[in-house]
Structure formats: C-alpha cells, structure tokens
C-alpha cells in the first residue's frame, strides 16, 4: 500500500518568493496535517485538514496557508519566504478518528537563500 507522498523532495527558493508543497495521503485517509521541523524548534504543528476543512491551526504567521481537495490531497503555501522558513516540511495523514496516530511522508526540504 502506498504511503504518504510529498513533492517535491527538495526545493531552493529566494527570499520574498512563494512556494507550494504537495501531499498525497494514504488511500482512505481523510485527515492531513502539516508540520515544520527545524533543529532549533523541533517538530511544530502548522495545520490540519479533514474533509476539505481546516480543523486545527498552529501558531504560525498568515504567510503559511493550506488547503485540502475533495480527494484528500493537500497543498501548503508559504508566501514572502524568509530565511527562517528553511526547514523540513512534513505531511502526515490519518483516517481522521480523534486521537489515532499519524503516518508521515518523507518530507520536503525547503532552503531559502
């Protein structure tokens, strides 16, 4: 069974640009969450979507946004990139039942120069 697929795997962008990351969840999973991982802050929750609705949101500025499509695929967008946005962005999916564990994708490594 296919896992969580994230594209692209690596990305280099310039300050001020915007970026869109994509995530395809495991078949049948309706919940998709996004996390940012950095050496200093660890794994931090960005937001979670279920059936195309944002259910939870972390403490990130409005430059970070996301959406989910009817097939449960999700995209995350970061506008006006800053150097501090350089991180590993991880997508995780779940059936959506409250409290069950999430399966993570391989991540997108974003470098902002």
Partner 1 sequence: QKEVEQNSGPLSVPEGAIASLNCTYSDRVSQSFFWYRQYSGKSPELIMSIYSNGDKEDGRFTAQLNKASQYVSLLIRDSQPSDSATYLCAVTNTGTASKLTFGTGTRLQVTL
Binding flags for partner 1, 17-56, as an x/- string (CB under 8 A): --------------x-x-x------xxxx--x-x----xx
- Give the residue with the Cβ less far from partner 1, 45 or 86: 45
End-to-end CA distance of the chain: 37
Residue 9 DSSP label: S
Contact between 60 and partner 1 (CB under 8 A)?
no
Is 99:10 a contact under the CB 8 Å cutoff?
A: no
* Residue (of 101, 108, 103) closest to 76 by Cα position: 108
Binding site for partner 1 (CB under 8 A): 31, 33, 35, 42-45, 48, 50, 55-56, 58, 90, 92, 94, 96, 98-107
């Amino acid at each position: 069974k296919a896992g969580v697929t994230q594209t692209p795997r690596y990305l280099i962008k310039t300050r001020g640009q915007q970026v869109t990351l994509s995530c395809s969840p495991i078949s049948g999973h309706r919940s998709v969450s996004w996390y940012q991982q950095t050496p200093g802050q660890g794994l931090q929750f960005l937001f979670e979507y279920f059936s195309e609705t944002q259910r939870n949101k972390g403490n990130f500025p409005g430059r970070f946004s996301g959406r989910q499509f009817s097939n449960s695929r999700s995209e995350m967008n970061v506008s006006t990139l800053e150097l501090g946005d350089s991180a590993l962005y991880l997508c995780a999916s779940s059936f959506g039942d409250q409290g069950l564990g999430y399966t993570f994708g391989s991540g997108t490594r974003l470098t902002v120069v």
